[in-house]
Chain A
Amino acid sequence: MIRLFTCVLALVASATHAETLRLAVTTSFHNAGLAEILLPAIAEDTAIEVQLLVVGTGQALRLGEAGDVDAILVHARTSEEAFIAAGHGTHRREIMYNDFVLIGPRADPAAIALAPTAGDALARIARTESIFVSRGDDSGTHQMERALWERAQSAPGGDWYRSVGAGMGAALNTAAAMDAYVLSDRASWLNFGNKAGLELLFSGDPVLFNQYAYIPVNPARHPHVKHELAQQLEQWLTGADAAQLINGYTINGTPLFTFNAQTRD
């Protein structure tokens, strides 16, 4: 019993304390695998240990609002601007972009590969009532999907529309199992390990542009947030090293993100 107790004590005492910064990121960013490249480089250059909280954009904004993270990296412009307007964040800094793509069964029963626009592609899915998996978690991807349904001028609903309320990977797994259509960001799709009978069917419409932005949480609202570290990280993320790593990140030869941060004087 005493031995067991000493073991437990040793385990409890082994906590480490470095300069850590908590960053809430979207599941699509994390599933793309870029974090595994960036975090070690950040640790080396700035000595900041970034702790990632991988959540949907909706939850990321809530974490920032509550002051539970020091900064957020998300991709839903309207929500981000509302977040800044409400005073929860100091400012919004664009870092990089990629694009959304429509994934579906290889046979493509709704023929979305022939659609001229993304809105039309969704309208075709609705018309043929092909199974469509929606994130349904108020994430950036989900917000983009809702905007696309508006463009398609059709309200999704009914038996064929499956809202799973889960992260990007889980939604792709569900779509793979049901041979369904799904909206994904390009990076998550390329990095996804369980493609089964799914294929990338539609991409390239400019409305599918997917901008990632970095927002430090407002220290005036939450005095405990590590604002200086958040600024240091912003400096690094918008610098030349980050540009090189982000532009250079490829999966099977396909680049996933394009760096587009503006340098500031």
Chain B
Amino acid sequence: MGDIWEGLASGFWLVVTLDPDLVAITLMSLRVTVTATLIASCIALPFGAWLAIRRFRHRRLVIAVLNALMGLPPVVVGLIVYLLFSRSGPFGVLGLLFTPTAMIIAQVIIIAPLIASIAHQAMRDLWADYHDLLISMSASKWQRVKTLIWDGRRALLTAALAGFGRAIGEVGAIMIVGGNIDNATRVLTTAIALETGKGDFARALGLGFVLIGLAVTVNIVIHTVGRTEREGKW
């Protein structure tokens, strides 16, 4: 128990004194994960909606694969992205390894299936309600997708936030492709792994509480800006 209290106290001090290392690490965490979530959402949300309204052969298979990819092991994604972007790999000339860009790429791969899958579930239910109406108005495919995305925006927001949640707490992939370089690619999760390795549990736990606080804050801010869960605004 003592370690947990020390961790709480350490986390409190880190935040109150605005520890410069902490600020840098937290900003890097936000920068990587927010960018990854935005990119993954741009790809995955329309794809999920499209999958809900479009009927084609092997659709079930695509959906099953998508659902399976939700559990994609981050370490494996990290290793594959590492091998692709290593100087000896096919994209080595880009020199992206051990940069935030490589971390963003890895996170996009990890969270895009999750976002697409949740979006698809939500859109499918909505599509069941809207099907007859949209067909009778002879809306084009693109118009149907647009309508579904707009009217299902709350559910889609949830999908994006689920992706954010998975990415902000992820350590396996970004440790490999980012390298946990101080002042360059160190983020909250890799810093926690590092401090744990040093046996400095109080600081590790302090950073952990900062990470949890950050995730909660981002969710609250998004919900406030998006005005969800308010009377008459469902």
Contact = CB atoms under 8 A, between A and B. Distances in A.
B199 A169 contact: yes
Interface in B155-206: 179-184, 194, 196-201
Contacts of A176: 199
A152 interface: no
Q: How large is the interface on B (under 10, 10 to 19, 20 to 34, 35 or more residues)?
A: 20 to 34
Of the candidates B30, B95, B97, B199, the one having the most CB atoms from chain A within 10 angstroms of its own CB is B199
A22 B98 contact: yes
A12 B35 contact: yes
B38 interface: yes
A155 interface: no
Interface residues of A, number: 34
Contact of A66 (B35, B86, B95, B194): B86
Contact of A68 (B98, B184, B201, B225): B98
Nearest to B201: A194
A258 interface: no
A67 B87 contact: yes
A215 B233 CA distance: 63
Contacts of A194: 199-201
B31 interface: yes
A170 B87 contact: no
Interface string B66-106: 00000000000000000000111100100101101000000
24 contacts: A11-B31, A11-B34, A12-B31, A14-B31, A20-B184, A27-B197, A51-B98, A51-B182, A51-B183, A53-B181, A54-B180, A66-B89, A67-B86, A67-B88, A68-B98, A173-B196, A173-B199, A192-B198, A193-B198, A193-B199, A193-B200, A194-B199, A194-B201, A195-B199
Complex A-B, nearest 3 residue pairs according to Cβ-Cβ distance, in ascending order: A169-B197, A194-B199, A67-B87
Given A31-B198, A54-B180, 16 more contacts: A8-B34, A8-B35, A11-B31, A11-B35, A15-B100, A51-B181, A51-B184, A53-B180, A54-B194, A168-B197, A169-B196, A169-B199, A173-B197, A176-B199, A194-B200, A222-B87
Interface of B: 27, 30-31, 34-35, 38, 86-89, 92, 95, 97-98, 100, 179-184, 194, 196-201, 225
